[in-house]
Amino acid sequence: MKFPHYTQLEARDCGPTCLKIVARFYGKNYSMAELKDYCAVTRQGVSLQDIINGASNIGFDTLSVKLTLDNIKTIPLPAILYWRQEHYVVLYNIKERRGKRTYFISDPSFGRIPLREEFFDKQWTNNENAGIALLLEPTQEFHDKVPIPTEKNLALSKIGSYFLAIIKNNRFKSALSLFLILVAMVGTWLFPSVFRKMIDNGVMAKDINVVFYLLAAQFIIFVSQIISDSISSILLMQINFKVSLQFLVNYLHKLIRLPLKIFDNRLNSDLMMRMDDSDRIQNFLSHHSIEFLISVLSLGIFSVLLCSYNVFAFLIFIVMSIFSILWTLLFLDKRKLLDYSRFTAASETKNNIYELINEMPEIKINNAHENKISQWEGLQKKLNKINLEALNLNYYQLIGANFFNRSKDILITGLCAYFVIQGTMSIGVMMVVGYIIGQLNTPINNLINIIRGLQDAKMSFDRLEDIQRLDNEDVNRNTVLKFSPVHSIQLKNVSFKYEGSFNNNVLENLNLEIPVGKITAIVGSSGSGKTTLLKLLLSIYNPGQGSIYLDDVNLQTVVPDSWRTRCGVVFQDGYIYSGTYAENIALADAKPDMVKLKYACELACIDEFIESLPMQYNSRIGRTGANLSGGQKQRLLIARAIYRDPDFIFFDEATSSLDANNEKKILNNLNEFFKGKTVVIIAHRLSTVKKADQIIVMEKGSILEQNTHNKLIAAKGKYYELIKNQLELGN
């Protein structure tokens, strides 16, 4: 039995892909989504401990060992190897012949490859004395455990369902396009018969009237083909635009519904590259689907015509065409590997160039341009190498296909010439056979392109399905929070860590009550877990252990949007979108309420600045307009939170970039706005927190102190240490 192999979908999927390969070897077919969840894949990829955790979850006993090259032949295979100190591969066989060993590995980024001992040693041990291997042995739990079912040929079935949906949603245009295409094709199918009669009954019989009649018929056929082709092309283009837009809309809707941890764990460029994948699927559905229908019809009709004229010519055509298609199929596996490699390399290159452009000020002030360009050049060379391999592969395919096509033409031409000389075939039939062969070459070439296009579409669909299979953030959340008052917010034994075995707990066993209708301030040194706590309260993340309650309702059962609708938030790294001031403040409203907008800007002390601009609230900001200072940005974010008029307000260092005068004005305005609202503020400045009803002091994810400002000062504990150097303490 051939050893199983799977290709990683993304740059950091090598670990779970190796686990998938080993599990498949032992008879279990796990989906990548399930294994990535077990291994907790992050932007940093996976550590060996993550793979061990994932393997344990599906029932493997594991042992990580450090081995020399001589010892590796004694271990049970397959085993997962830590490759080049940055990658994971599966070693599945070792063969020895004439004193030389060959090592067979399954590399998720490249394929199955045999390696000579010296090359294997260099890549595995990285020029050290030993390398790391993970040994896996299936237990009874592995054999008993049933993988989450995955639909076979999911991509192909989904592609088919999308095609049917396109036809259903565009019935009239699709039917009319198909009818016009058939009209054009009928003209093409009639041409051989007309052409043969013109040669045999007109030219050879020297009857000019027959020639004129048949030329007129050809002209009519030609004009009808032009008209039909033009109209059908316009209709298909209109359908194509609709399909393209719908694909992107569906993908973006799915992205927006995903939990935030997905964006934490994946490169943004990986997610953006999938938009190119949606284009590939759309192009396949809107172009190749019609092309396939035309090709099949043409192949059938012209094959019947060719067979009626000469059976031997038809047999030569069929045999050589089969060889041509088989030649193309030989390269599909290699094309698949190159496509996955291209996706990974292109994602890394795009991510690098985004950073290069977006962080240009940082690069300039650190004089790092040469190093950054060199990094990009290295990634681009890697991508160019993959593209060159793909071009060479296409070239080899083209050479083989052309060889069989030209051989077919030569053989059939020679055969027809022989029959003409023998008197069993007329000149007209010979010329018609040549025409039919030319017409048959087109659908054969189209079918070859369709096979390749289907493979590309399937790979793209697999990558999109990797996103579609992810659970939305509201999965298993059925409680829609009504706009009735919430009387308490309680955290009970809450702990949390970010994914990845290399991450420790950020929050540790928190027990806390946040009083409703009052102000709670959270202070602590950097990295103490303040912002993470805020994100848990907003249901952006779920606690790893423990629960957060709104009265007696567990926040993890609440539909996130119904909770966040009642919240106004200012994060320290809040984003300003390209657009106008009005659009940025009234972010969720297509048409801003100008009364609420101006009131929010007045409280945030940014109204005078905006109204001094020529276009006032319609002035453009963000990447397509003016840049804002840090203080202006924070005031605008505060105005955005006020505009929502929320019941619950969460501020994360919302005034850290403001000067003392503006901060004092805004805090005075907010004190009035905060009345009756539940407010949670993260801040370092004493001026921001000292009037809070309760102050929470955090350190290393735990609560050290909790009381009012005056009582915490009197206790002279951690809070006193944090703020003792601030000027207000002397007052």
Q: Rg of the chain over CA atoms, in angstroms?
A: 34
| Higher-pLDDT residue of 628, 531 | 531
User: Residue 485 in 3-state DSSP?
Assistant: coil
Does 149 score more than 80 pLDDT? no
Q: Band of the pLDDT at 727, cuts 50, 70, 90?
A: very low
For residues 118-142, give the mean pLDDT. Answer: 83
The alpha carbon torsion through 391, 397, 401, 406 (nearest 10 deg) reads 60
Q: Band of the pLDDT at 193, cuts 50, 70, 90?
A: low
Q: Are 404 and 323 in contact (CB under 8 A)?
A: yes
HSE-CB of 537 using CA atoms within 13 angstroms: 30
pLDDT in tens, 676-711: 888 888 887 777 787 888 988 888 888 888 888 888
pLDDT in tens, 589-603: 878 888 888 888 888
Does 374 score more than 60 pLDDT? yes
| Percentage of residues in the chain having pLDDT higher than 90 | 1
Q: What is the mean pLDDT of the chain?
A: 79
Does 126 score more than 80 pLDDT? no
Q: Are 31 and 150 in contact (CB under 8 A)?
A: yes
Contacts of 486 (CB under 8 A, 6+ apart): 516, 550, 551, 647, 648, 678
**Closest-CA residue to 722 (of 684, 681, 683, 682):** 684
- Which amino acid belongs to residue 354? Y
For residues 141-147, give the mean pLDDT. Answer: 84
Does 731 score more than 70 pLDDT? no
- Which amino acid belongs to residue 684? H
DSSP string over 148-193 = PP--TTHHHHHHHHHHHHHHHHTHHHHHHHHHHHHHHHHHHHHHHH
pLDDT in tens, 527-575: 788 888 888 898 888 888 888 998 888 888 888 888 888 888 888 878 8
For residues 265-294, give the mean pLDDT. Answer: 71
pLDDT number for residue 378: 80
pLDDT in tens, 471-512: 777 777 877 777 777 888 888 988 888 776 566 788 888 888
The count of residues in the chain is: 731
Name the H helices within 258-310. 260-265, 268-283, 289-309
**Among 129-133, 187-191, 496-500, 689-693, which is the least confidently predicted range?**
187-191
Phi, psi of 31 (to 5 degrees): -75, 155
Measured between alpha carbons, how far is 361 from 584 in angstroms, rounded to an integer?
A: 25
Question: How many contiguous H segments (helices) and E segments (strands) does the chain have?
Answer: 26, 18
For residues 174-193, give the mean pLDDT. Answer: 66
Strands in 100-107's sheet, in edge-to-edge order, are 60-67, 131-138, 79-83, 87-97, 100-107, 111-116
HSE-CB of 131 using CA atoms within 13 angstroms: 28
Pairing mode, if any, of strands 694-699 and 519-524? parallel
Q: Band of the pLDDT at 114, cuts 50, 70, 90?
A: confident
Does 189 score more than 50 pLDDT? yes
Measured between alpha carbons, how far is 592 from 617 in angstroms, rounded to an integer?
A: 10
**CA 398 to the chain's CA centroid:** 31
Entry pTM? 0.68
Measured between alpha carbons, how far is 277 from 254 in angstroms, rounded to an integer?
A: 15
pLDDT in tens, 298-316: 777 778 878 877 888 888 8
pLDDT number for residue 171: 67
Does 170 score more than 50 pLDDT? yes
Q: Are 695 and 707 in contact (CB under 8 A)?
A: yes
| Higher-pLDDT residue of 445, 194 | 445
pLDDT in tens, 77-97: 899 998 888 888 999 888 888
User: Residue 101 in 3-state DSSP?
Assistant: strand
Provide the strand spans (E) within 485-640: 488-497, 505-515, 519-524, 545-550, 553-554, 567-570, 579-580, 620-621
Q: Are 474 and 560 in contact (CB under 8 A)?
A: yes
Q: How many CB atoms lie within 10 A of CB 241?
A: 12
pLDDT number for residue 21: 92
Structure tokens belonging to residue 390: 């793909």
